[in-house]
Structure 1
Amino acid sequence: MQSLLDAYTAILIFMEKGGVVLYGVLAVTFFMWVLIIERIWYFTASAKTDVRRALAAWESRDERRSWYAHKVRTAMISEVSQNLNANVDLIKTLVATCPLVGLLGTVTGMVSVFDVMAVLGSGNARAMADGVSKATIPTMAGMVAALSGVFMSTWIERKAKRESERLEDTLTMDH
């Protein structure tokens, strides 16, 4: 229990040193990871059902060689592919937003440094250190969040493409 309390205290100190902008980075990162976890959940739980439903609908068709059947097949693949790729663009947007919010922390931290320099001069390094930490910590946090999001969004895109291609290969035009 003490280790949990120590971790909580360390996080609070980190958030305080990073300034208000770090809460923005946290909010964007949290929303991004909620969407990533939703996609992972979808791939493990619902994607197989969507593919099976499309496959069953295709297999139940009597005729699969006409122009109309080909369009029905294309529509089925497109619908499943759209479900597989849901929220991917939003995740990628949030990935790109993380470093930008962190950069906002850099700007606000440097403004704080310049304010200290204007009031106390450049000789007081201890007073400037607070602004420097508010400038660097949000930037670092935004970059770390973006890197994790880039990795996961790439994985999600590849998984969606692979599943879509697998469905396309499975829905044959024979019969």
Structure 2
Amino acid sequence: MREEQDVVLRVEHVSKRLGGKLILDDCSLAVRRGELMVLIGPSGAGKSTLLQCIDCLIPPDSGEIWLEGERLERDDRRRLCDFRAQVGMIFQDFNLFDHLTAEENVAIALRKVRGMSRKEARARALDELARVGLARRALLYPAQLSGGQKQRVAIARALAMDPKVMLLDEPTSALDPEL
């Protein structure tokens, strides 16, 4: 029973077809609190697709996803939004807003999802940017940042939300080895 209580994220029998091709076939996994799980496989194996299915950015064709023992109801928009607010996602391509500064890219979800005031969100954003070594780059726009700096902004944005689970899709691909 204790082992089951420690499971934060459970994925059961998830399958997905894209363009008629089977990408995921009956995938299941369980991640316990504090556990780090790594998916390794060749390009095109379905790693990104699985992460996107877990976060329901693309709906799985079948299977169930559970967060802290509660089954994700994909058809209930409010519950889906609540789920996504508890799951941090860092994408391969960063998904930063080009018209917002690094600070604003981190702060926007804090304001829109967490309901923080501008002042609170800005302070938290600056703390997280400092945590990833970008305090002096907070007022720069994505076009003014290197690939590694953009990736660190995306990491700061995910960490700022205090997620229960982090899904990272090649989170260090643009970072220098020492980082």
| Superposition TM-score tier, normalisation by shorter sequence | under 0.3
Tell me: higher relative CO, structure 1 or 2? Use CA pairs within 8 A at least 6 residues apart: 1
So what's the TM-score if we normalise by structure 2? 0.22
More strand by percentage? 2
Structure number with larger C-alpha Rg: 1
